[in-house]
Amino acid sequence: MITLQLLVNGLALGAAYALVALGFVLVLNATAAVNFAQGDLVMAGGLLGVALAPHLPGYLPLPGLLLLPVVLVLMAGLGLLLAAAAYLPLRRRPPVAVFISTIAAGIILQNGASVLFGPEPRAAPPLLSGGTLDLGGLVVAEQSLAIIAVAALLIAGQQWLFGRTQLGRRLRATAQDPEMARACGVPVTAMILITFALGTAFAGAAGLLLANRYFVTPTAGGDLILKAYIAVTIGGWGSVPGAVAGALLIALFEVGVSSVLSYPVALGLLYATLLVILVARPQGLFGEAARRRA
């Protein structure tokens, strides 16, 4: 029974990590740029959830499910700002310039959050309720199930967008060859902006989902960007299914392996696994190598 419970917890955590990694990989595909502010964008999404759900005396706080679309839209707007400030002015510069500018953007977000919200950990509202379900001895937090459901919906929606719509085809064309896409009449700059908006919205959703169960602080993003980076490396740079698989694998180590061994040992084994994968399959499990563009 406890194994099942750990599995549900691991799935919920993996689903949230998958959203973080997806946002990361979307921007990577469209721009060949590593967005190192992704973890801080997750933190911003969590704190946005905290800010939008004030506990007014005599009123129930807004449930997270109502906040989710608002957070998605506001975070998409933040993504547009990020692209305009940290990527577009530097797009013709060496990749390291964007790398540094996104780190700077992350630091600005961190310190802005510290000033606005203070340093203390906070909890965003749950999507539906903060309660637990007792399924014949299996105690499952409703938030865990909600995280899995919302993440699955967002990932499926993203797959549909990319696979079944004209906009998705344009986004993919921009990701594969921006110059050719431009020659074919695709508004490449607009596509890049949309990609940043989408990636940031995913980060915001992950932030809102994580911030209820695991709390959020202004400095919480650093660890998440590392996990997103590892997930994408395990799955294969540029691979969407790979990012999801990598995220689930990290959660499996964090929750599953650490229930048998200690957490530090589980983390060590995760890094060892990453090393083995890099040696055996340098292109990652799903093997779509992102091409560097000038």
Partner 1 sequence: MRRFLSILSATVFSASLLSGAARAGEASVPVLVPLTGFLSLEGTSQRNGAVLALKDAPAGVAVRSEVIDTGTSPEAAVTALERAAGGKVTAVAASMLGTQMLAMLPLAQDYGIPLVTVSGTASITDQGNPWVFRFFPGDAVTKEAHARYVTEELGRKRPAVIYQTTAYGQSGKAHLEQAFKKLGVEPVFEEGVDPAAKDLLPVLTKALAAKPDVLVLHLHSGPTALFIRQAAANGVAVPIVAGSAMHQPSTAALLEPAELKGVCAETAASPISGGSPEVEAFTAAYRAAFNAEPDAFALGQYDGIRMVLAAVQGGADSPEAVRKALSTGTHQGLAMTYKSDGKGNMAHSAVIVCYDGVSRVPAIAKRYDNLTGVVTGMVK
Smallest CA-to-CA distance from 244 within 175, 172, 163, 156 is with: 156
111 near partner 1, rule: CB under 8 A = yes
- 122 binding partner 1? (CB under 8 A): yes
**Using rule CB under 8 A, residue 271 touches partner 1:** no
Strands 138-141 and 132-135: antiparallel
Candidate ranges 170-178, 211-219, 235-243, 280-288; the one touching partner 1 (CB under 8 A)? 211-219
| Closest distance to partner 1 from the beta carbon of 48 (Å) | 16
Name the residue nearer to partner 1 (CB basis): 49 or 178. 49
234 closest CA partner among 252, 209, 221, 255: 252
**Chosen residue from 73, 96, 115, 278 binding partner 1 by CB under 8 A:** 115
Contact (CB, 8 A) for 90 and 106? no
Verify binding: residue 38, partner 1, rule CB under 8 A: no
Told to check if 114 binds partner 1 by CB under 8 A, we report yes
- Quick one: which segment of 31-39, 178-186, 218-226, 229-237 binds partner 1 (CB under 8 A)? 218-226
Q: Which of residues 124-153 bind partner 1 (CB under 8 A)?
A: 130, 132, 139, 141
Tell the smallest beta-carbon distance from residue 289 to partner 1 (Å).
29
- Contact status: 221 vs partner 1 (CB under 8 A): no
Compute how many residues bind partner 1; rule: CB under 8 A: 39
Asked if residue 13 binds partner 1 (CB under 8 A), the reply is yes
The residue (of 118 and 282) whose beta carbon lies closer to partner 1 is 118
User: Which region, judged by CB under 8 A, interacts with partner 1, from 111-119, 148-156, 171-179, 240-248?
Assistant: 111-119
One-letter amino acid for residue 274 of the chain:
L
Tell me the window of 27-35, 177-185, 200-208, 259-267 that interacts with partner 1 (CB under 8 A).
Answer: 259-267
Based on the shown chain and the rule CB under 8 A, indicate whether residue 40 belongs to the binding site for partner 1: no
Contact call for residue 121 and partner 1 (CB under 8 A): yes
Q: What is the distance between the terminal CA atoms of the chain, rounded to a whole angstrom?
A: 53
| Residue from 210, 231, 234, 274 in contact with partner 1 (CB under 8 A) | 210
- Our finding on whether 103 is near partner 1 (CB under 8 A) is no
Q: Which residues bind partner 1 (CB under 8 A)?
A: 2, 5-6, 9-10, 13, 110-111, 114-123, 130, 132, 139, 141, 210, 213-215, 217-219, 223, 254-256, 258-259, 262-264, 267
